[in-house]
Amino acid sequence: MNEEKYILFGQYLQGEMSAEEKIDFEKKLSENHELASEFESFKEVQIQLETKFDFAADRDAFEANLKTISKEHFKPQKTKVISIKTWTYLVAASVVLLLGLFLFNPSKPGFEEYNQYENAYLTERGDGIENLKQAESAFNAKNYKAAIPLFETVLKENKSAEIQYFYGISLLENNQIKEAEMAFNEIKLGNSIYKNKAIYGLALAKLKQKDYKGCKEILLTIPSDYENYDKVQELLDKLD
């Protein structure tokens, strides 16, 4: 979006257009979908600013900073008369939109930030089944697609919570989310040491689907004595 559009948007929102200019501008918005979309983005920035800087002191400090930025980075044409308020929003919109609204609307946490898992050491527990060894190796190599059928074969004979947990993780990483949730929910119903790990897995499944509300609700059910509760708390803080 160029400077001329910012100026028009700011003047319209601040009621600084004449009746004829306002009619002409609204006609352009109705005929130009791209312009209308850019105008909606500009209005969103103004809403963000009004929300974030609700106190007079904050607004004054912010406006002072914007004036400094405008002197350093923007060169308005001398022939144009732009009010301080419109210019403030013009600069604010430029800065915020260039940063993708990051400063005022921080992005939600991503699944990739939290999908770090412990390695599987299944064969160390005296189970020498070849499929189990292969499943363990595939999982630890992050070859989840290959690990899934191997785990499924093992689970037919040995449906332990431990094996089912790593199976659930493999499903989740392979985007078989519903199947992963079924595996985790089954572990959740029991009382094994993998119960809270499975609940955290359910939260990750919601996070992967960008269901932030569902993710938070599940995280809040995990007790504080969970071994990786620091990660639970970190994710909760980012979801707030």
Q: What angle do CA 214, 114, 205 make, to 5 degrees?
A: 35
Q: What are all long-range contacts of 135-140, with beta carbons under 8 Å and residues at least 24 apart?
A: 135/163, 135/166, 136/166, 139/166, 139/169, 139/170
pLDDT of the residue at 102: 47
Domain ranges of the chain: 3-98, 111-239
Find out whether 205 and 177 touch, Cβ atoms under 8 Å. yes
Higher pLDDT, 56 or 64: 64
Residue the block writes with tokens 């412990």 = 118
Q: Which pLDDT belongs to residue 11?
A: 83
Please check whether residue 91 is in contact with residue 71, taking contact to mean a CB–CB distance below 8 angstroms: no
Instruction: State the average pLDDT over residues 71-83.
Output: 51
Question: pLDDT > 70: what percent of the chain?
Answer: 71
Q: Looking at residue 132, what is its pLDDT?
A: 92
pLDDT beyond 70 at 158? yes
DSSP letter (8 states) at residue 124:
G
What 8-state DSSP symbol labels residue 127?
-
- Rounded distance, CA 165 to CA 197, Å? 8
The pLDDT value recorded for residue 67 is: 56
- pLDDT at residue 104 in the model: 47
The predicted pLDDT at position 65 comes to: 61
To the nearest 10 degrees (0 to 180), the angle between helices 33-52 and 3-13 is 60
Q: What is the pLDDT of residues 180-212, one digit of tens each?
A: 999 999 999 999 999 999 999 999 999 999 999
- What CATH number labels 111-239? 1.25.40.10
Q: What is the pTM of this model?
A: 0.58
pLDDT score for 91: 57
